[in-house]
Amino acid sequence: MTHKQASPTLHPDRTGNTVPIPAGDTGGSVGKVELQIVTFDGSDHVLHLEGGGSLSPLTVAYETYGKLSASRDNAILVCHALSGDAHAAGYYGHSTDEKPGWWDILIGPGKPLDTDRYFVICPNFLGSCYGTTGPTSIDTGTGQPYGLSFPFFTIRDMVEVQRWLIDHLGIKTLTAVIGGSMGGMQALQWAISYPERVRGVIPIATTSRMSAQGIALNEVGRQAILSDPKWLEGRYPKGDPPGRGLAIARMIGHITYLSEESMHQKFARRYANGNGRSFSFSKDFQVESYLHHQGDKFVRRFDANTYLYISRAMDYFDLETDHGSLEAAFSQCLSSFLVLSFTSDWLFPAHQSAEIVRVLRKLDKEVSYCNIESDQGHDAFLLPGHRMGDLVSGFLERLKEGGAP
Amino acid sequence: MTHKQASPTLHPDRTGNTVPIPAGDTGGSVGKVELQIVTFDGSDHVLHLEGGGSLSPLTVAYETYGKLSASRDNAILVCHALSGDAHAAGYYGHSTDEKPGWWDILIGPGKPLDTDRYFVICPNFLGSCYGTTGPTSIDTGTGQPYGLSFPFFTIRDMVEVQRWLIDHLGIKTLTAVIGGSMGGMQALQWAISYPERVRGVIPIATTSRMSAQGIALNEVGRQAILSDPKWLEGRYPKGDPPGRGLAIARMIGHITYLSEESMHQKFARRYANGNGRSFSFSKDFQVESYLHHQGDKFVRRFDANTYLYISRAMDYFDLETDHGSLEAAFSQCLSSFLVLSFTSDWLFPAHQSAEIVRVLRKLDKEVSYCNIESDQGHDAFLLPGHRMGDLVSGFLERLKEGGAP
């Protein structure tokens, strides 16, 4: 096993919001952070994947914020979403207009994931293109990037790799696992895969199984990539990716991350220039410019094959089928749960969270639930302006007072 | 002006539902129908388009059901949606497993648009690819299909052409104009363009202006077409269209026509074959197979350039901007209105209909509104199983009793 600090990759920019570093003051910020890298190899670290195939060696990129206590009992694991990475908080210090990590609203001194009290860990998940082994990594067997020879992976496989990291950091029990969207799937999977190792689980804006609509939207995004002539059956050169297809996939994604109401507030029917209708197919409306901008930006920071794999891992997430029923899936859980959804999220609508809560209550598990009022759509979990932070703080406080597991 | 009956084009199949012709019995059906064609030419029939440019000669394909009364006062105009055509009811009689016209649930003897009482007219709209002049038509100036040299058109232009047809049929006042989705936009436009010529207006599952989300979804569909290398700047040969792009656009469309709930009911997470997860990018789930099937079917029946133009006409529909305000838009209307929306329609959500109703009420116009309970999503207006038919019947009955305009 090797362990080093690496140059950070570019951090994601899901929301498009600019949060400048306060001049000479990082009040509430964890400040400057560095991406860390650990590589697992050897016979005790061969990852046997749910879909067949195995991976070894396996590198994990992660960041940590705050200090691990002497008794190693103050760790919180943060799980990121589809296009996220390990850079959840703070700054790399590359430039003065740098945006902070993707969950900086939640992580920092005095913030809900209070780095004065907790040791917060955010690993890049298995199969991503931000440092942890994935389709863009070099296959040591061939010396070439895996590409489509990368084995298919699942949320369960991701959690297994995260467990390796937790073991590596010498942590027996996590205070909490928290994540939104696909990160929430990982949080749920932790509660099921390692009941005795997680005290609190906070799945946000997520589901226990990808819906037909969710699969459908993923499939359209994948088809856009697969139909791009530059995709070349996955063997595109790094400098000439299937950009138009990936951009279309991202545009679809962005529509699903917002709500009809938030799109109206952001753009209404405003024109991109003062000229009104051009009577052409160019970008007349601001919402069109925005989508193109998001698509283009994504192509510069993300990998098309990786998008295919990760979206498939989402499609395959289905705790009910894995365990025969949702009751069976959660029956062995020992954690307390805080389940959060947002009223305007139509990608992972509230009733999907309510279903998880219903089953946990039926099983007499400790569970709190809030469907948070917000018009920001699915992306609300990445944005300020609602009660999520307070609810997370309160839950962690109660966890501290309580005992289990 | 020439007038003839033509061979029908293929009729659309929006819902995918098969409604077989009852053997030897067309109970409630208008029976066998024929597509009719009229060509307008001459200096009194030059269409000057809102976006500039003009069209002449101009052909309109339409169907009629029932008989025009001697006083020519029993006509109802049916306006179709994006991918629809003039074949709204009955059968061409081509085969025994033929599906009826797209609104056969509503049109026929004893049905809400009762062909024993009303003369129902359904024209294919301007710019479509089903008989009325559009991008696939031959430009008489060049002898070639218009393609991208076709002028941009708007909902208002469509209504202008429909007015020509109504004049041609010798009808002064329409009993009603009815349409769903983009058809509802045309119905609203009729009330505004020709207040004295429409007694009742029934806009269903529609809006007074395309939302930012709606424009965004249209733009993604267009980008899928424009990115297809076979699009060739619109100059693709008829036999080799940009099929992958058009199929993707249609797949996105289909997701928006259904609701999350109806997709769950139709497909849940059922596998397309008995083998479960393939750990590949093939069509594992029934919902994926369904979308591909719908996409492929659409490519065989629709034209890619036409899709670009029509979706742009939707984007540009904005009564508020056209008139300064929605109040100003509706201020001169003389018709009675029945506005209908569906609870699970997220493409044209109920609040957009409610906004129309609020303004009409403020202006003291005669308006009834119902947000119809349905889990079928936007496509509900094409499907049986809810109150739409009864509400339409009741409204027409009250119109008959009442007077205006």
| Res. B80: pLDDT tops 50 | yes
ipTM of the complex: 0.93
SS3 content of chain A, % helix, strand, coil (to 5): 35, 20, 45
pLDDT digits (tens, 9 = 90+) for B285-326: 999 999 999 999 999 999 999 999 999 999 999 999 999 999
- Within 8 A of B252 by CB-CB distance, chain A residues are 220, 252
The residue among B238 and B20 whose pLDDT is bigger is B238
Cα A92 from chain centroid? 19
Alpha-carbon distances, residue A179 vs A113, A116, A126, A335 (angstroms): 12, 20, 15, 15
Q: Are A249 and A221 in contact (CB under 8 A)?
A: yes
Task: Compute CA B56 distance to the chain's CA centroid, rounded to the nearest angstrom.
Answer: 23
| Nearest neighbour of B255 by CB, restricted to A216, A281, A284 | A216
pLDDT tens digits, residue range B12-66? 344 434 344 433 333 499 999 999 999 999 999 999 999 999 999 999 999 999 9
The encoded tokens of residue A229 equal: 């002539």
Q: Which residues of B are catalytic?
A: 181, 345, 378
Q: Do the chains contact at A212 and B267, CB–CB below 8 Å?
A: yes
B6: distance to nearest CA of chain A, Å? Answer: 32
For residue A94, indicate whether it is catalytic: no
Q: What is the pLDDT of residue A400?
A: 83
CB-nearest partner of A212 from B219, B227, B263: B263
3-state helix, strand, coil in chain B (%, to 5): 35, 20, 45
Summary mean pLDDT of chain B = 93
pLDDT, mean of each 10-residue run, chain A (405 residues)? 49 40 55 97 95 96 98 98 98 92 97 97 98 97 95 98 98 98 98 98 98 98 98 96 98 98 97 90 97 98 98 98 98 98 98 98 98 97 96 95 60
Residue A344 known to be catalytic: no
Please give the residue of chain A at the shortest CA–CA distance from B310: A281
Predicted confidence (pLDDT) per residue in B139-156, tens digit? 989 999 999 999 999 999
% of chain B beyond a pLDDT of 90: 89
What's the gap in Å between the CA of B51 and the closest CA on chain A? 6
Domains (range + CATH), chain B: 2-209+322-401 (3.40.50.1820), 215-312 (1.10.1740.110)
Instruction: Select from A245, A252, A279 the Cβ nearest to the Cβ of B252.
Output: A252
Q: How far is A42 from chain B (nearest CA, A)?
A: 26
**pTM (2 d.p.):** 0.93
Q: What pLDDT is recorded for position B5?
A: 53
DSSP-assigned letters across all residues of B335-385: SEEEEEEETT-SSS-HHHHHHHHHHHHHTT--EEEEEE--SSGGGGGGSSS
Predicted pLDDT of residue B25? 36
Q: In the numeric block, which tokens belong to residue A362?
A: 């039926």
Nearest to A63 by CA among A42, A46, A84, A44: A84
Closest chain A residue to the Cα of B223, Cα to Cα: A248
Which residues of chain B are within 8 Å of residue A324 when distances are taken between CB atoms? none
The per-residue pLDDT for B403 is: 54
Say whether pLDDT at B10 is over 80.
no
- Residue B274: predicted pLDDT: 78
Beta strands in B80-204 (DSSP E): 107-108, 113-114, 119-123, 138-139, 144-145, 174-180, 198-204
Task: Find the mean pLDDT for residues B260-276.
Answer: 93
A212/B346 touch (CB, cutoff 8 Å), yes or no? no
Q: Are B274 and B216 in contact (CB under 8 A)?
A: no
Task: Identify the pLDDT of residue A178.
Answer: 98
Q: What is the mean pLDDT of residues B371-384?
A: 97
> What's the confidence (pLDDT) of residue A2?
59
